[in-house]
Structure 1
Amino acid sequence: MESSNETASRGKYLFAAFLAPFIWGFMSIPVRWIRDYPAEDILYFRIITALLALWIYLLLFRRKTMAADIRKFQLLPQTGKLRQICLTLLASALIFGNWFTYIYAVNHISIQSAALAYLTCPLITAAGAYLILREKLTLWQKIALFIAFGSVCLLANGSLHDVLWAITIATCYAFYLIVQRVSTGFDKLNQLLIQLSICALFVIPKLSYNHHAIPAEPLFWGTIFLIASLFTIIPLFLSMYALIGISSTTTGVLLYINPLIAFTLAATYFNEPVSPVKYVAYGIILIAIALFNLTNIKQGFHRPSQS
């Protein structure tokens, strides 16, 4: 049986895994504020702004941690260095692809297609973690994933175009989570800094030859800073931090919080038409989340006394 300290420690990782998609669920609001700008411009300036903010924070407050990670990398054997470099490059490519496809879908496809992506993502994450990382699933968790799959099938009975976009968005982020689970031993903020720096290496040359004028409107830059800080650095760090203490499957399933919020916003705030079938499907998703986290819920109500 877990001690109260172990339960509390796991609780903070679960809370981080919950908070990240909860924040992301509201991201469609600021993205829609600047929907008249090209999706690639929003992505490029989001990356550059997030990178600058993260560099400033780390240089001011976490220089010792950065130095420690540099020494740790230097002490790795050649194969260890090559493995870490490959994982970092792969993670950077995956998160870049996820961001671009999400922004494009929100502004040019539909909010609901973006929501469907994060309904599909946990299933892809669970399958990948089970097959690649050999993460174990309880019977209840397998049942929950089967129920969630049925709900996704209900929601996918619409535009094939929307479904393909959703699968692309989901696959990028699902495998990003799996790569982050494998890539351990280094500070998560430092890893995020390197990933954003690699993304910037692609972005900066593109900006140099960009045919679009650099936006001058305060609304654009205010929104970009909000997206870069509140909707990029903070939730990415929370999701990476969560993977220290819980499986990528659990982190992936908690991503269902994101589309539930996005669906609610689409139906209320953005007034997108929603069929009754979708209300049923999202209700089923809530049941699946509860079933998947049944063990964690029980532990929350029956915490063992501290020894």
Structure 2
Amino acid sequence: MENSNETASRGKYLFAAFLAPFIWGFMSIPVRWIRDYPAEDILYFRIITALLVLWIYILLFRRKTMTADIHKFWLLPRTGKLRQICLTLLASGLIFGNWFTYIYAVNHISIQSAALAYLTCPLITAAGAYIILREQLTLWQKIALFIAFGSVCLLANGSLNDVLWAATIATCYAFYLIVQRVSTGFDKLHQLVVQLSICALFVIPKLIYNHHAIPAEPLFWGTIFLIASLFTIIPLFLSMYALIGISSTTTGVLLYINPLIAFTLAVAYFQEPVSPIKYVAYGIILLAIILFNIKNIKETFSGSRAQAKG
């Protein structure tokens, strides 16, 4: 009974890790709605809006837990405080860099370059987690990553510019996941609001001295609110929550769901031209996802069946 409860709990974290990139996969749609605005403006107002929404929610519903986390931080020894501050600053810089490069790539490079980024990201995450966090991989998981690497090589065999942008986006988010895995002991929602607050320290001076007029169109602000809430706060919290119960490598590999959806949108919705080799490459990626998570999938379903019988 204990094992089935543990499996069900793991299934909860796996579902959170799946849902985050699933939501992100559709983000290119609202970003394209406001493509005529500078990428930095979209980023700045996204951060400010997400921050305001989060602070309102925390002040209304989570003041006690926030106070408890602040008290816990002050009780840490000096080295513990310094470590947490450094991890938070690093995470803030990485997520800021990831957002800016993603928005710029979607609006000024190509949807497919953004999709390629999230194909590369799991490989960088797996390598970083293996080297830095000493996370272990099964033989089948290593085979799945090798298959995925081959697919990425097929897709990267095009524009060097796309590849460089993809690598930058991917590296920022891969190391963000690794930092979040290391940063433990505090509520993930509170960590997110602190990270966004730090990002805002860079954003607010830029907004004050921004030479662009503040947008007045309802479409812009409606889209920014949608991006800030549905495509920022929710998936970021889900990915951070997932890291409580599963490895950063598994969370990273599930990011492959994002580019699969983005690729489908690029072909079916945005009508971007796609070579036949890309269909093969994305099919291989789907196979790699299933292969990497086959053990987790089996355990989750067997645990669910055991609970149902119980």
Residue in 1 aligned with 2:58?
A: 58
1:148 matched to 2:158? The reply is no
Aligned residues: 307
Question: For 1:289, what is the secondary structure of its paired residue?
Answer: helix
Give, in whole Å, the separation in 1 of the partners of 2:299 and 2:37: 47
Residue 8 of structure 2 contacts residue 300 of structure 2 at CA under 8 Å; is this kept in 1? no
Where structure 1 has 5 or more consecutive residues not aligned to the other structure, the ranges are: none
One-letter amino acid of the counterpart of residue 205, structure 2: P
Give, in whole Å, the separation in 2 of the partners of 1:231 and 1:297: 26
Residue in 2 aligned with 1:164?
A: 164
> TM-score, with normalisation over the residues of structure 2?
0.98
One-letter amino acid of the counterpart of residue 260, structure 1: L
Residue 3 of structure 1 contacts residue 305 of structure 1 at CA under 8 Å; is this kept in 2? no
Residue in 2 aligned with 1:33?
A: 33
Matches within 5 A, 1:23-102: 23-102=23-102
| Alpha-carbon displacement from aligned partner over 1:22-75 (angstroms, at most 9, x marks no partner) | 000000000000000000000000000000000000000000110010010000
Give, in whole Å, the separation in 1 of the partners of 2:264 and 2:68: 44
Q: What is the RMSD computed on CA atoms of the aligned residues?
A: 1.1
One-letter amino acid of the counterpart of residue 164, structure 2: L
Residue in 1 aligned with 2:5?
A: 5
Residue 13 of structure 1 contacts residue 242 of structure 1 at CA under 8 Å; is this kept in 2? yes
| Structure 1 residue 297: Cα displacement | 1.8
Distance 1:57 1:301, change over 3 A: closer
Give, in whole Å, the separation in 2 of the partners of 1:2 and 1:280: 42
| Structure 1 residue 122: Cα displacement | 0.2
Residue 122 of structure 2 contacts residue 253 of structure 2 at CA under 8 Å; is this kept in 1? yes
> TM-score, with normalisation over the residues of structure 1?
0.99
| Structure 1 residue 143: Cα displacement | 0.1
One-letter amino acid of the counterpart of residue 141, structure 2: Q
Give, in whole Å, the separation in 1 of the partners of 2:300 and 2:171: 32
Question: For 2:167, what is the secondary structure of its paired residue?
Answer: helix
Give, in whole Å, the separation in 2 of the partners of 1:175 and 1:284: 25
Give, in whole Å, the separation in 1 of the partners of 2:154 and 2:273: 16
Residue 102 of structure 1 contacts residue 114 of structure 1 at CA under 8 Å; is this kept in 2? yes
Residue in 1 aligned with 2:22?
A: 22
Matches within 5 A, 1:1-307: 3-303=3-303, 305=306
Distance 1:75 1:40, change over 3 A: same
Question: For 1:288, what is the secondary structure of its paired residue?
Answer: helix
Where structure 2 has 5 or more consecutive residues not aligned to the other structure, the ranges are: none
**Runs (4+) of structure 1 moved beyond 6 Å?**
none
One-letter amino acid of the counterpart of residue 87, structure 1: L
Residue 91 of structure 1 contacts residue 180 of structure 1 at CA under 8 Å; is this kept in 2? yes
